[in-house]
Chains A and B, each alone.
Chain A
Amino acid sequence: AQSVAQPEDQVNVAEGNPLTVKCTYSVSGNPYLFWYVQYPNRGLQFLLKYITGDNLVKGSYGFEAEFNKSQTSFHLKKPSALVSDSALYFCAVRDMPGSGNTPLVFGKGTRLSVIA
């Protein structure tokens, strides 16, 4: 079964500094990888996804993520953090073993705090 690990419960970064939120995954087939963001008392919003192709994918609000197959990682990055980026970030994976339908599985989330 597929699984996702987000090793950091909390990431603190100063405004203007680069940020990284880590994610590793485990699948039996090819992974479809996603990042979502949740602001307080809101639902989840889609940020970006990796399906195939270029390992560096760009998404909403200046975020990007790098797919690394050998390290089974999909870390979220942003060159310059904003205070408004402070939120809860979730990594998710869907295993595509070649047949059948598999669900989207989420990590436990990482709380990002950007300090002015």
Chain B
Amino acid sequence: NAGVTQTPKFQVLKTGQSMTLQCAQDMNHEYMSWYRQDPGMGLRLIHYSVGAGITDQGEVPNGYNVSRSTTEDFPLRLLSAAPSQTSVYFCASSYAGPYEQYFGPGTRLTVT
């Protein structure tokens, strides 16, 4: 049981490049979400999904795309990276309802 895994752990991009942050969970959780963490800003929700084929926007969705083709995977795509997207990204999952989320170890992204 690996829990929530994220790859890569670190990434440096140039402005305008695209990439996908991977997130996978093996707990059969319906709910998955992506957050970004910036100093003094806490965790801000980017996108979330309540099940395969269903996604919705969070507080800061601009510049990011998601899809949920399987229960296990919830990749986050940066279409054209910008320096403002330099951050630490966390993926989390949980059962739907009053259940705590399990967090991945994070991806530290730097856009130059």
Residues of A that sit less than 8 Å from B by CB: 6, 9, 32, 34, 36, 42-46, 49, 51, 90, 94, 96, 101, 103-109
Contacts and interface: CB of A to CB of B under 8 A. Distances in A.
A34 B98 CA distance: 10
B105 A43 contact: yes
B74 interface: no
Interface residues of B, number: 26
Nearest to A47: B100
B100 A106 contact: no
B106 A43 contact: yes
Nearest to B54: A101
B103 A108 contact: no
B64 to A, nearest CB: 15
A90 B43 contact: yes
B110 to A, nearest CB: 15
B105 A42 contact: yes
A108 B41 contact: yes
Nearest to B91: A43
B100 A49 contact: yes
A103 B42 contact: no
Shortest 4 CB-CB contacts between residues of A and residues of B = A108-B42, A43-B103, A106-B43, A46-B100
B101 interface: yes
A101 B50 contact: yes
Contacts of A94: 98
Nearest to A43: B103
B101 A104 contact: yes
A66 to B, nearest CB: 18
Given A34-B100, A103-B48, A104-B33, A109 B105 contact: no
